Chain A
């Protein structure tokens, strides 16, 4: 509604200054960062969506062999991936806890849980790499079939996003180290937490997508209008 009002303004009729926003410097800084992060998440969403649509298209070609299905298929046993997922969930929870601690005025606990979140995220990445090795060892390398190519592609791109996130944790950590005051720390953590939860959601969706049966792919592809 606000946007509609803005876009229907008759600017040629009106003169004068509308009331200026009263946001403080820190608030304006945070709003800018949040806007940029929101845009970045929109871009990342499009990136993953496009990969996913091409995956569904590929899933309808005759040579595509889904990774799941029979027990002997590489993703017949998902226990390893569930463990990896648990690592990322823990990382996300710790990140939220860190934010909550910062809000509650417990900087030491906040820093500790933040480091914990980073550690679990890195552990998730190592576990994913280990799973890559396992798949490769089973004969499902990156070139063996489009389905496994996509597994490496999806997890690789997701992993790079997470790695980027871990590097950006430098920001709240440096605020904590310099004891910059509660507001910059909380604002910084709010953005990191949003990014962490976003990457967790993306991973859950990828997990769901990569482990479906050929029948489900057929239905999804039909819904997207890309059936063979």
Chain B
């Protein structure tokens, strides 16, 4: 096994030379990050297509013969699971985490590069097993992404035989991959920071990745436990989650299991998972806002603490996903209270983002547009979460489209907007070229307005009582016919937004060769990843000398200084000051 220390040696001594060792079995964190990112985007596109198919059925029922109730449920399940686990978790931590952690802390690579490589290939195996479930008899599981027993493994649920086995095995493999990667990120941040990079000088992106990874390491075991136990119920015939019951008129061979136990385990993982996705997004947005508004992040220390507090609180709110499963009213009160309390640090973050923008020198670049878009969608999604956090409001709204709209706004659209912001922001670092600005703006506006056209009406459908996960509404008195028109309009919007992503993909590919060459540090950012001697950074990142860090990452528009940014590694004596006469011309704030 190789360690950071090995990467500390001169680059030439360990830089891989062959194609295979450089781009396939690579131990370089940047190549691994791109591998993670490309795989996650590919599998994410599969999920986008699935959502398009779902919307076609909902918008125009009885039109498409190849979508039946079973395939519809399979699309729903696979869309949800792929988006949450295999796209968002993987790309934010495996992709951006891998790329940015060593660069932002001023290290040459991860603490355990070999383990890092192993993590990617294990992740790829998990993805392949998951995709293989499309080709097994009866297809993938259609139990919903929550995989609740007993229906998950009983006849009548699509993919109850092989589909669910492949899903559970794939999840278990993913967790192994995540654990290998996560151990690396946390260890690297704790042990391999450049001289001067104290914890409180780290950019918020790193704080988000750091805390999200710790949360992932502590929360994924709950999913692993439930996957192992359900796999045993399915394959061996144990009764961990399966009660004695009748299925299709016959009693099954299970007894004494508890389906509720699975729900607790699943949500003990599932709720922190929301923040495993959200915290890196919070961090990335903070850095993009500060850089493109040329202003220090407002309340840096409070932002760090808020990330930590959100991480802690997210472990004591899980049962708010289970109000309709039934629980002691005292527990309902407890979980509603903790859920509402978590809004406090989250609101602090939103206010601080707004105050960072306040009187900033805002550059409406494409990453900035996406970052500001995130503030809108996240605030909307967060506010509807306050409704659902209350037991009495949740009960009638549970399992309606209001919930679908809420979680898509808060943990679907919002992190995806940040993902786009991050790609537009760091693309020049990764490739050395700029993405096309006009295409980027078009992509932003269609995506941002389109997602509102999709998810805003869904809140209304939820209020009407339209249930989620239904293949067709059938004859339901309390749902007016106009709801169907709304569904059709949502589908049209969804298809437009889906197609708009092709603009993004085309931009990514076109700019790789044709994009304008980027100058070093094109956004004039302070963080270390932009201060490497080469763009894109070479193997070993830093040439002969590791950087030394003199200040925090948000020294933007410092009064009395010539430039409006001071990189973290610029020695104080090299910071250019304004002449006294020029300084006195500076407008007092």
Interface residues of A (CB under 8 A from B): 6-12, 14-18, 20, 25-26, 28-29, 31-33, 35-36, 39-40, 42-43, 46-47, 50-51, 54, 57-58, 61-64, 142-143, 145-146, 149, 153, 157, 171
Contact = CB atoms under 8 A, between A and B. Distances in A.
Contact of B552 (A11, A35, A39, A153): A11
B187 A32 contact: yes
B550 A31 contact: no
Given A43-B217, A43-B218, A32 B191 contact: yes
A57 B304 CA distance: 37
A58 B258 contact: yes
What 10 A-B pairs are tightest by C-beta distance, nearest first? A63-B256, A9-B200, A11-B552, A17-B196, A149-B238, A20-B195, A11-B200, A47-B221, A143-B237, A32-B111
Contacts of B504: none
Contacts of B1: 171
B198 A18 contact: yes
Contact of A51 (B187, B225, B239, B572): B225
Specify which of B188, B195, B224, B225 lies most central, judged by the most chain A CB atoms within 10 Å of its CB.
B225
A17 B4 contact: no
Interface string B343-378: 000000000000000000000000000000000000
B503 interface: no
Chain B interface helix/strand/loop/mixed:
helix
22 contacts: A6-B198, A9-B201, A15-B572, A16-B572, A17-B196, A25-B5, A32-B3, A32-B187, A32-B191, A39-B187, A39-B217, A43-B179, A47-B221, A50-B221, A50-B222, A50-B225, A58-B256, A61-B256, A146-B238, A149-B238, A153-B228, A171-B1
B301 A8 contact: yes
Contact of B239 (A28, A39, A143): A143
A167 to B, nearest CB: 13
Interface residues of B, number: 57
A12 B261 contact: no
Contacts of A25: 5, 8
B225 A15 contact: no
Contacts of B209: none
Interface in B203-256: 217-218, 221-222, 224-225, 228-229, 232, 236-240, 255-256
B325 to A, nearest CB: 14
A142 B231 CA distance: 13
A61 to B, nearest CB: 5
A171 B2 CA distance: 12
A10 B198 CA distance: 11
A11 B198 contact: yes
B5 A11 contact: no
Interface in B302-317: 304-305, 308
B192 interface: yes
B261 A54 contact: yes
A171 to B, nearest CB: 8
A7 B199 contact: yes
Contacts of A29: 3-5
Contacts of B200: 6-11
Given A15-B550, A58-B258, A143 B222 contact: no
A153 B236 CA distance: 11
B549 interface: yes
Contact of A58 (B218, B240, B305): B240
A36 B187 contact: yes
A150 B129 CA distance: 27
Contacts of A33: 3
Contacts of B257: 146
A50 B261 CA distance: 11
Contact of A16 (B184, B228, B550): B550
A28 B186 contact: no
A149 to B, nearest CB: 4
Nearest to B195: A20
A105 B238 CA distance: 51
Contacts of B268: 50
Given A18-B195, A20-B196, A145-B256, 16 more contacts: A8-B301, A9-B199, A10-B301, A12-B296, A15-B550, A17-B196, A28-B192, A32-B111, A32-B188, A47-B221, A50-B222, A57-B261, A58-B258, A143-B236, A146-B239, A149-B232
Contacts of B182: 39
B221 A11 contact: no
A31 B572 contact: no
A62 B258 CA distance: 12
Contacts of A20: 195-196
A20 B193 CA distance: 10
A157 B363 CA distance: 54
Nearest to A157: B228
Contacts of A142: 232, 236-238
Interface string B170-200: 0000000001001110111011100110111
Contact of A40 (B183, B229, B296, B304): B183
Contacts of B282: none
Contacts of B225: 47, 50-51, 54
B552 A12 contact: yes
B548 interface: yes
Contacts of A51: 225
A57 B258 contact: yes
